Structure 1
Amino acid sequence: MLEELLMQVPNTEIVDLVVHGPPGSAPPVLADALLAALAEAHSDERPYRLVPRGNDPGIDAMHLLLTRPGDDAILSTCTPVFLQAPMLRGMTLTHRALTPLARLVSDHFFLVVRTDSAWKTANDFVETLPQRKTRTGGYFLGGINHLLALSIAEATGAEMEFIITPTEPAVWDALIAGEIDWGVGVGAELRPHLEAGTIRVIAALDVDRRQPFPDVPTLWELGVPVRFTMWRGLMGPPLLSEAQQAVWHARIEAMTRTQAWQEYLTRNGQVSAFLPGPAFSDFLKTEWTWYEKHLTMAGLLGTKSS
């Protein structure tokens, strides 16, 4: 089936893989893994180049995709920021103007502190968090870091100050510098700092313990019912034909069966959650409703977004 579809596609053009997050965040790690897996799968013989668009995560990538309707030589990494940012800013441009190609993975969040923090365990954190006001951070109000911080504060009865950082990677610089006390993040963005020995993982934000930190307890185990799973996927430009979309779905599915892709999932504590085309579009409708509800509850949406 894949071979039949690919016979219809010219092999001379360069494919632009847009990376919607800045260096030091998770999207570039995903983009590198995609290139390795596509090469192993031999599902697209065209050359690829990475196109960084992480200065304004999500927004810059969406604007670039919008300029190339019907072009099957461009796609972008995507995460919930493609929903959150337009919603929070009241933009007319949303993901609905683009072509959802596939959900790829489910990613999991972990709670981290500095290596020299007095919080040695998750139990220490849960027991002492309500005793004083603490600081955590993220790069925008309404981001996942912010929503999770609000959930942890509510579940523990703690008071929390949320610090806005210039970028997502700057959250970890702020933690290491002592400007915030704790943070939440995914394996791909935490790993460089864990390997440098500057931060420690003390809890998983899930019901069950997770790779790549199987010995780290969950907050749920300690009576703090906070969990979150984030999706990562691929978005195409507007007006891709059904035939073009079918080729992309086949390419991506072949890529997800490679050893390179499995190694990426294992290393970063992610789980395969492949969902192509229309099913991904239906999933995004549900996600839009979820974020609309929770951003409203956080006091960040004055009226319902369309």
Structure 2
Amino acid sequence: MTRFSANTLIVHGPPGSAPPVMADALRSAQAERFPEMAALALLPKGDDPGVDSMHVMDSCHGDEHLVSTCTPVFLQAPLLRGMSLTHRDLTPIARLVADRFFVVARTDSPLAEPGAFLETLPQATTRTGGYFLGGINHLLSLAIAEGAKADVEFIVTESEPAVWNALIEGRIDWGCGVAAEILPHVEAGTMAVVAALDMQRQPSFPDVPTLAELGLPVTFQLWRGLMAPGGLSAEAQQRWHDHFAALRDTQAWRDYLSRNGQADAWLPGDAFRTFLEEEWSWYEKHLGLARLFPEPA
């Protein structure tokens, strides 16, 4: 059984995705709050997002030095693949933040014109994308297509960052992403933010209307948190809870939340475990409605 001798954070998404951004923020927050501690080691495991991390933690049962970033892919992947390994075999540490999604398009696209997205979308088949069927990008595109009465083709890309390359290169026409993913491209001028998928405008893009303002009230919040191997002692769990609770009160963490338009959503331990069961039921229902489960034999 593998054992880690120093505190290690698995990063469950590839470079260019949102999990590494959060991991870097946690590392900076620890350096600010606990300068006497050894730096939090980062272990990239984003080739198969979520799944690789889950397998590493499954091989490190009870390891008190290991924790991983996590998002709903820890629920989606086991459901879609029929995996025997699920979040129930691991130890939920805490939900940290709530993240919002935005609709984006290339800056030279008619879809990026202010207020034109919902008018233009039904006029012809458009393409959007994500890195797997049943992902949040896919479920949001289904909701937007249904609400706009539009024909939308969903393109599966090889990774989450590849969605934005596909958009910039013209292989897809629009996409749904969080601020941490789209900010570099928006700042580079290659992508424009069309609408926020929330009922209120977001501080990260205060001049961008909500999709509800444009006429279609599709909203979604993505949680981000931390997971540890199964079999963790109560004492080790409490140490992690106390450690990450302290990191929330740092300038590095506040800057991360502000830049990426995220809200604090602290929910540690058993409360996070209960929340994950509610999320499991939601994804099980909606992935089923999208007909993404294999037909029974």
> Do both proteins adopt the same fold according to a TM-score greater than 0.5, normalized to the shorter chain?
yes
CA distance in 2, matches of 1:62, 1:43: 30
Q: Match of 1:196? A: 188
Compared with structure 1, are the counterparts of its residues 44 and 293 closer, same or farther at alpha carbon in structure 2 (3 Å cutoff)?
A: farther
Compared with structure 1, are the counterparts of its residues 44 and 98 closer, same or farther at alpha carbon in structure 2 (3 Å cutoff)?
A: farther
Q: Match of 2:158? A: 166
Q: Secondary structure at the match of 1:22?
A: coil
Q: 2:228 aligns with which of 221, 233, 236?
A: 236
Q: Say whether 1:36 aligns with 2:36.
A: no
Q: Match of 2:210? A: 218
**2:212 partner amino acid:** W
The 5-angstrom pairing of residues 87-236 of structure 1 reads 87-236=79-228
CA RMSD between the two structures: 1.5
Give, in angstroms, the shift of residue 123 of structure 1.
Answer: 2.0
**1:251 partner amino acid:** H
Q: Secondary structure at the match of 1:301?
A: coil
Q: Say whether 1:295 aligns with 2:287.
A: yes
CA distance in 1, matches of 2:36, 2:50: 25
Q: 2:56 aligns with which of 64, 68, 86?
A: 64
User: For each residue in 1:218-269, what CA deviation from the matched residue of structure 2 results, as whole angstroms up to 9, or x when unmatched?
Assistant: 1111220200000000000111111110111000100011111000000000
CA distance in 1, matches of 2:115, 2:285: 31
Contact 2:112 2:193 in 1 (8 A): no
Compared with structure 1, are the counterparts of its residues 44 and 210 closer, same or farther at alpha carbon in structure 2 (3 Å cutoff)?
A: farther
**2:89 partner amino acid:** A
Q: Match of 1:80? A: 72
Give, in angstroms, the shift of residue 115 of structure 1.
Answer: 1.2
User: For each residue in 1:151-204, what CA deviation from the matched residue of structure 2 results, as whole angstroms up to 9, or x when unmatched?
Assistant: 000001000000010000000000000000000100001111112111110100
CA distance in 1, matches of 2:232, 2:34: 22
Q: Which runs of 5+ in 1 are unaligned?
A: 1-11
CA distance in 1, matches of 2:130, 2:203: 23
Contact 1:17 1:51 in 2 (8 A): yes
Contact 1:105 1:272 in 2 (8 A): yes
Alignment length (residue pairs):
293
CA distance in 2, matches of 1:169, 1:278: 33
Give, in angstroms, the shift of residue 273 of structure 1.
Answer: 0.3
Give, in angstroms, the shift of residue 67 of structure 1.
Answer: 1.0
Contact 1:102 1:280 in 2 (8 A): yes
Percent identity over the alignment is 60
Which region of structure 1 is more displaced relative to structure 2, 216-225 or 40-49?
Answer: 40-49
Q: Say whether 1:268 aligns with 2:234.
A: no
**1:218 partner amino acid:** T
Give, in angstroms, the shift of residue 44 of structure 1.
Answer: 7.8
CA distance in 2, matches of 1:121, 1:229: 25
Q: TM-score, normalised by structure 2?
A: 0.96
**2:82 partner amino acid:** G
Contact 2:106 2:112 in 1 (8 A): no
Q: Say whether 1:278 aligns with 2:274.
A: no
Contact 1:75 1:237 in 2 (8 A): yes
Q: Match of 1:5? A: none
Give, in angstroms, the shift of residue 302 of structure 1.
Answer: 4.2
Which region of structure 1 is more displaced relative to structure 2, 215-224 or 40-49?
Answer: 40-49
CA distance in 1, matches of 2:167, 2:105: 7
Give, in angstroms, the shift of residue 76 of structure 1.
Answer: 0.4
